[in-house]
Amino acid sequence: MSASESAGGEITSLGNDVLLAFIPLAENPEWTEKLAKKFKGLQIRWVKSITPEHTIVKPDDLPAETWDGVTLLYTFLPPRIELIPKVRFVQLTSAGADKWPGHPKYQDESVVFCTSNGSHAPQIAEWVIGAWLSHEHGFRRYAENMKTAHWESPFASNARDSTAQRVGILGYGAIGRQCARLASALGMEIYAYTRSERSSPKSRKDDSYCVPGTGDPDGLLPSKWFHGAAREAVNDFLAQDLDLLIISLPLTEETRHIISHEQLALLGKKKAFVANIARGGHINQDALIQALESGQIRGAALDVTDPEPLPADHPLWKAPNLLLTPHVSWKTDSLGKRLLDILEQNLEKLATGQPLINVVNRKLHY
């Protein structure tokens, strides 16, 4: 752990606060020094939440003095309430807050929670479109051929380009919007699904953190919008002859197993490809395995499973036409800069009484 305390600075309203950055990044001394100068009196502590062996550091693993007096917290995992009695602001490194419901601090409406939604969108969208293109052009087949030095006849396999294929994006937030941007560049038709209706141009705008030059800030890319919380509304969306379904919505009790036997049957009309980069609980995995084994859908790509890590004997490992990665789509060397940028923006807004970005809706948990 390292600590820094300002002797100067421009903003004084955080002068009695202690910030703990408990995040999967090594400390950035330049950023820490800049923050200390900007916020007079703010004490900054930084603990990397990943060990040299690439395992997660739990909140209880930290020395008690690390938590002493902390009022501002940047974290992913929820610490016990006994460790953070004075915390009044929580910035999450994740795009959702599904780890926090039930926590006393989360239930305290006076404590502000914000996510890092938007910081993960560019890299996750690339993972999605990369998996899609790999499947449509048979890259995995050719990778296997390389192992045996087999030069396959170019007439022995088929490939499909993306032009005029239809992508349905289930959850049109920051990640979904960047997926739409990339898919649009490939000539795909975009259908968007949101929980609430987005009937006006104003309602279709994105108010979350956005990396410049990315996403769909004004909501102009979808040719058709769908909405609703009921399964009937979701089914109507899935019945739109989709070639690619991207699952990019938060996990709540409402969205758990939002894709199951009935929904996969609807996607079977065009033998859609299913990409899930949200949470493993969105898909009934037994139903997905059946759909893959029977050829009901053309393939799938999962960066998330239920549970995680996925047991070695789980049948998903052997499902055909499936790409499975260990929850890594969020990773990029650029993430650290974005996470610190969101935190700095929100600290300044908190200090000056401005509306914060990515404030969590406590009912929807995102």
Whole-angstrom distance, CA of residue 282 vs CA of residue 277: 10
Is position 279 annotated as part of the catalytic site?
A: yes
Options 257, 314, 327, 362, the catalytic residue: 327
Residue 355, Cβ neighbours under 10 Å: how many? 7
Check if the beta carbon of residue 90 is closer than 8 Å to that of residue 83: no
Burial of residue 344 (CB within 10 Å: 0-12, 13-18, 19+) is: middle
Is position 365 annotated as part of the catalytic site?
A: no
Q: What would the two tokens of residue 237 be? A: 């969306």
Whole-angstrom distance, CA of residue 296 vs CA of residue 288: 9
- Which residue, among 42, 107, 102, has the nearest Cα to 69 in the 3D structure? 42
Check if the beta carbon of residue 122 is closer than 8 Å to that of residue 332: yes
CA 309 → CA 2, 6, 306, 327, distances in Å? 31, 41, 8, 9
Cα first-last separation, the chain:
30
Check if the beta carbon of residue 259 is closer than 8 Å to that of residue 183: no
DSSP string, 71-96: -EEEESSPPPGGG-TT--EEEESSS-
Options 198, 279, 338, 365, the catalytic residue: 279
Phi, psi (deg, nearest 5) at residue 174: -60, -45
User: Residues 286, 292, 296, 298: is their CA dihedral positive or negative?
Assistant: positive
Residues recognised as catalytic: 279, 327
